[in-house]
Amino acid sequence: AQKVTQAQTEISVVEKEDVTLDCVYETRDTTYYLFWYKQPPSGELVFLIRRNSFDEQNEISGRYSWNFQKSTSSFNFTITASQVVDSAVYFCALSGSAGNMLTFGGGTRLMVKP
């Protein structure tokens, strides 16, 4: 069975602070995919990144960066110089080799205060 744990249910930071959202996963598949989605207050789910289990390179996209470490089964997400518009619920998700379902973590609510 697959499992995704986001231990931080809520994080509050002041604008311009850096913040890291943790994600730990469990799977027996040797090939799997990890995702981050953003859910702003409007409610839609916005895809941020996909990473496959064979690619442990960290990725940076503007103020966003992701740290994938297979040894610790973690796929953490860092926002640099946070902004109020980053306020949202962020979900980490896992898909196994069959690819037929995403297993979501419980989400981390990020509040960025001005």
Partner 1 sequence: NAGVTQTPKFRILKIGQSMTLQCTQDMNHNYMYWYRQDPGMGLKLIYYSVGAGITDKGEVPNGYNVSRSTTEDFPLRLELAAPSQTSVYFCASRSRVSLGTDTQYFGPGTRLTVL
Contact 111, 86 (CB under 8 A): no
* Residue 57 touches partner 1, criterion: CB under 8 A: no
Q: Which stretch binds partner 1 (CB under 8 A): 16-24, 68-76, 80-88, 96-104?
A: 96-104
Question: Cα–Cα distance between 56 and 51 in angstroms, integer?
Answer: 8
Contact 75, 65 (CB under 8 A): no
Residue 90, H or E segment:
strand 88-95
* Residue 107 touches partner 1, criterion: CB under 8 A: yes
* Residue 23 touches partner 1, criterion: CB under 8 A: no
Smallest distance, partner 1 to C-beta of residue 52, A? 6
* Residue 40 touches partner 1, criterion: CB under 8 A: no
